[in-house]
Structure 1
């Protein structure tokens, strides 16, 4: 049965690893990868060391053989035939049978240790013409067809030797035979064999030791990561204010911890905003529903005059209109949050849309005796979504009228700016304290917390304005001073 490791996430639900799949821990993976890489590198180093030592050793013997051959050829060139004790003819008296006159000692163990050089003369066809006495009944290996000096490792009987094969030519350059010289390399072969054995035996021991040490070092290195994981696993929706302790060294782990803490800050802020949003939306819907229920309950208790019924029904319709507007605004925000709303950009004249919005808001302004003055460009074109543009102007004008005293003025100005068109909507209302300006685009945020929805709206108008403006790359800003009025500026990119 597969083992399932459980962790707790932000929602309190356990996080499960994928069942049925074997996976190495991070510590073991680091140790394994490092060990594999080191094993390959170490193998190459060992191979390089062995062949370098072997080459150096055999180069030493080759130099010795070169000197020996040079001495032999030099003596021969001076006519000292006693050195050879043979000539280059195919006389049978000096053929291989002549070797029977030497002391036959077949066992390598009985050979004189001072006899360090072996010499052999062969014909062009490879027939042994003569050989040194210390070869006894053995011969040096011959390779036919060679035109150049050849060095090779071979055997003479059971003795390992390093030999050279030198072609012998007459005055016309015709090869008449070959001179073979060799030296025993028993000690060198033994040393090389011991070196190979040491390398082969030490290799797995080094790799195993390296894996264990790397695993220990990796474990100590990722211990801070495990501490970060342990701290993160303890953070749930109920304790989002907790943070991961920052390491002392400002390294990658420090950046990781700081990044996670910043993410937790954003999550906490999002949870708080969603919690506040749900609470405010519930409250805003609950209030008109309670009013409707209370009014209808009163109406059904006993018969009343027609005028009373009409008055209460108009009140219910007003509350239903308020609920409808709230739901519509909530749907706009929800669609924006889920990327379900897209801007259909067109080339439009903002002056026309401002005039139409002023016309639609005129009845509300008339109730408070607030004139809306519009001045600016007669004709200019911008790129925007017409429906979204209407909603933006209506929300800003609605706020301007709502928070302005009766008899005041709302001014709308449209002007050219550097590379853009600027629209300013200015009122003479209650204004916004400077310390609260940064929050006016938040959902359900009201500058005056004591203001109820009947007089101060839902706190969604500027949030919708900001979201719709962002979709169309329209820069929106608010300037205000308490009890001196508010100015909302919209900067449209020109087409």
Structure 2
């Protein structure tokens, strides 16, 4: 789903809420149906068990008499007085189906072939049709059968009450499901909302960053073409145009860099890296910039300290941090880069005496396009991609990056590279202007 504005996000949230609601309701209804059928099956089994136990108990009492006494209705009635038959029907019949005794609560027809076991029979009470459950047992040592039967009226009434209770709570379940689904949908959409917001902000910032140098280039060219000027004037204008072009180039490079990281096409090549050589290379790259900004740039590492990592990626990370340290520094400030060994790890720290970072901004400084101080970022040509790139590159080589900062005091970024091999011989300490 393509989400490009607030309306799209609202539609997505509503659609997701409906999906959550429908899915949850289906699950809840299936659970209710499953519970109801399980409960009803258990109730019917209990009904049968009670009926069977009742028949066995009455049959045991009856077979205590002589077989001839079974035909004595008074004797049978006397025995049955000890049992509260309630809504039960009771029949005693011989093997030929002749009824010797009956006490019927419901009218029903017995099966033609009498066998022991459960039977579901059609009964009638007046004009009302009823379902009768019967259990037939053979009286031990006799040729007689005992039938104990009971209708399902009470059981079905209880089951209907249970079903009604379930149906009664369905509207409340629906309301609760909608509320929870909306919250879940909002929670699921929130990262997308934030991404859309960030992308909108990035579009605005990128447009501003591109518009400013383009306007500068255009204005300088137009002024230079108005009339002939002396060479120094043209040189000044060309330098301004070059600065603006470099600014545009940096923005485009950062965006392409981010694209490569997103597509997973950025290669990683692990090799043995001597930090002394790496620091010397960085010093030659940035000492001119540091001098122009009146910032003291220094490097320090234990001599021949060697680590296993991707040299180009590590150099890119440190370049971003050093460039930021110089750009956001004070006049006559400093940027220190030093490496320390701790066990099998090496910490490489870039420390500066710059403007620092507000405490509330620190959790977000590695987010793409995030800029705590927008006006200062624009002054230095940044749009909030540098630290994000540094963070992703650090993850790419399996390292960690952390930051400590205090406003108007400075910042300290530390890269921790784990599981390294190292050699120590003396100390390397180079300082620049």
- State the TM bucket, normalised to the shorter chain: 0.5 to 0.7
Change in CA separation of 1:407 and 1:37 when aligned onto 2, cut-off 3 Å: same
Q: Find out whether 1:226 has 2:178 as its counterpart.
A: yes
Q: Which residue of 1 is the match for residue 398 of structure 2?
A: 473
**What is the rounded CA distance, in whole Å, between the counterparts of 1:480 and 1:164 in structure 2?**
95
**What is the rounded CA distance, in whole Å, between the counterparts of 2:228 and 2:416 in structure 1?**
58
Q: Answer whether contact 1:343 1:472 (CA < 8 A) is retained.
A: no
1:51 positional shift: 2.0
Q: What TM-score results when the alignment is normalised by the length of structure 1?
A: 0.60
**What is the rounded CA distance, in whole Å, between the counterparts of 1:163 and 1:207 in structure 2?**
32
Q: Answer whether contact 2:247 2:381 (CA < 8 A) is retained.
A: no
**What is the rounded CA distance, in whole Å, between the counterparts of 1:163 and 1:483 in structure 2?**
101
Q: Which residue of 1 is the match for residue 113 of structure 2?
A: none
Q: Find out whether 1:349 has 2:273 as its counterpart.
A: yes
The DSSP-based 3-state class of the residue aligned with 2:9 is coil
Structure 2 unaligned residues grouped into runs of 5+: 1-6, 77-91, 102-136, 421-433
Q: Find out whether 1:293 has 2:218 as its counterpart.
A: yes
Q: What TM-score results when the alignment is normalised by the length of structure 2?
A: 0.68
Residue among 344, 349, 352 paired with 1:427:
352
Once the two structures are superposed, the pairs formed by residues 255-404 of structure 1 within 5 Å of their partners are 257=183, 266-301=191-226, 308-309=233-234, 311-336=236-261, 338=262, 340=264, 342=266, 344=268, 346-349=270-273, 351=275, 352-368=277-293, 370-404=295-329
Q: Which residue of 2 is the match for residue 40 of structure 1?
A: 41
1:393 positional shift: 1.0
Q: Answer whether contact 2:9 2:193 (CA < 8 A) is retained.
A: no
Q: Which residue of 2 is the match for residue 85 of structure 1?
A: none
How many residue pairs get aligned? The number is: 358
Q: Answer whether contact 1:343 1:385 (CA < 8 A) is retained.
A: no
Change in CA separation of 1:363 and 1:160 when aligned onto 2, cut-off 3 Å: farther
The DSSP-based 3-state class of the residue aligned with 2:210 is helix
1:284 positional shift: 1.2
The DSSP-based 3-state class of the residue aligned with 1:12 is helix
**What is the rounded CA distance, in whole Å, between the counterparts of 1:165 and 1:403 in structure 2?**
104
Residue among 191, 210, 218 paired with 2:162:
210
The DSSP-based 3-state class of the residue aligned with 2:11 is coil
Structure 1 unaligned residues grouped into runs of 5+: 1-7, 73-110, 117-151, 167-180, 233-256
1:410 positional shift: 2.9
Q: Find out whether 1:417 has 2:361 as its counterpart.
A: no
The DSSP-based 3-state class of the residue aligned with 1:316 is helix
Q: Which moved more, 1:205-214 or 1:283-292?
A: 205-214
Of structures 1 and 2, the one scoring higher in RCO (CA 8 A, sep 6+) is: 2
Structure 1 or 2, whichever has the larger Rg, is 1
The DSSP-based 3-state class of the residue aligned with 2:34 is helix
Give the alignment's Cα RMSD to 1 decimal.
Answer: 4.0
Give the structure with the higher percent strand.
2
